[in-house]
Amino acid sequence: MTINTSRRHTPVSRRNVLKGAGAGAAALAFPAVLAPRKTRAATRIVARDPGGPWEKAMSEAIYKPFREATGIEVVGVAGQHDPTAIVKAMVETKVYQWDVFILGNMTNEVLMSQGLLENLNVNDDPAVQEIPAQYKTPTMIGSYNYAAVLAYRTDVYPAKAKAPTGGWKDLWDVKGIPGRRGMRKFPQEVLEEALLADGVAPDKLYPLDVDRAFKSLDKIKKDVAIWWSGGAQTSQMLKTGELDMCTCWNGRAQAAIDDGAPVAVSWNQGLMSYDGWCVAKGSPTADIARKFIKFASIAQRQAAFTPYAAYGPTNPNAMKFVDPARAKMLPSFPENAKLTVPTSPAYWGPTQTQLLERFNQWMLT
């Protein structure tokens, strides 16, 4: 089965999308410290980010400098990956727990199509204008790009010739490259990895040949020691040696490396995507959120993010301010970027619910 769409397959995408949760259940998922309210004082906004290494990165690079520049405090709140149901609940109940939030570009595609996000209308801002069109939609301004990569323990694979650096086929080569493997428990990225491992050319990846992808996954399913659902898991499992190789987002692997773990990243066939800032439809603080998004788009602010989280700035001018040694660890570094494969939010937007259901059924068989 090949799922096609009539929409243009523009590059890039990311992370898993919540489904099925009703507005009431999603509202209960909000942090208890944030009492529900329809409006909030203009001197304080709440920003949802992915947490983990982002916490310090966002605080030092954007939140604190924004307060210094504007007098507006930014309270960072870690949220679950691509919180589709929560954003839907905010709009339906008009209880806006977040003023501005990071989304994966695939999730943006889904929520934008449902009319749940504000049109940002910030393209007249000089910093936003510096960001290429590929990192912008009417409802999102890209903040950083990243890649889903294969990370591995260098103490398990000390010889480069035997390390899993040849692309996704090496993850599937359980006899030639033995070891404990981890994969993401979600179809996005995993189906792409399965097809690339099976020999599909990167420029022929979309629309995904779903039947072929699941046949490829059948070949490795019993050899996957851990199916992970959160990025923080991958950093921890790589650090402790619970896994010898693991699919993960490059910044999570780099976090393990920065902590001294014997871990390396293979950029070969890494799946390139990006995340960006969005605002829920009808938010009473949308104008302040737009001011924040413009500030977060400034090249120096995006560069200041990179020492804490190894993700690439969407504003290319930011690279002028990035430490050259750190730049080599980012997905936007030319030598890394040329090895990666762009993903397609336009493909995943209309298909993710159907493919998630099939993937979940496959996991149970």
Q: Quick: pLDDT tens for 211-235.
A: 999 999 999 999 999 999 888 899 9
From the number of C-beta atoms within 10 Å of its C-beta (0-12, 13-18, 19+), residue 111 rates as buried
Spell out the domains of the chain, with CATH numbers in brackets: 23-145+274-332 (3.40.190.10), 146-272+348-364 (3.40.190.10)
Low-confidence ranges of the chain (pLDDT < 70): 1-42, 80-82
Q: What gap in Å lies between CA 139 and CA 116, rounded to an integer?
A: 9
| CA 148/CA 76 separation, integer angstroms | 25
Q: Which residues are CB-contacts of 24 (< 8 A; sequence separation ≥ 6)?
A: 89
CA angle 289, 295, 299 (to 5 degrees): 145
Q: What is the pLDDT of residue 80?
A: 66
Share of the chain above pLDDT 90, in %: 77
20 to 23, 24, 206: CA distances (angstroms): 9, 11, 26
**What count of residues does the chain have?**
365
pLDDT of residue 51: 79
Kindly report the pTM of this predicted structure. 0.82
Determine the pLDDT at residue 82.
65
State residue 350's pLDDT score.
86
Q: What is the spatial distance between Cα 172 and Cα 167, in angstroms, rounded to a whole number?
A: 10
CA 274 to chain centre: 6
pLDDT value at residue 98: 96
Tokens of 103: 């989304």
Q: Checking phi first, is residue 88 left (phi over 0); if not, alpha (psi -120 to 50) or beta?
A: alpha
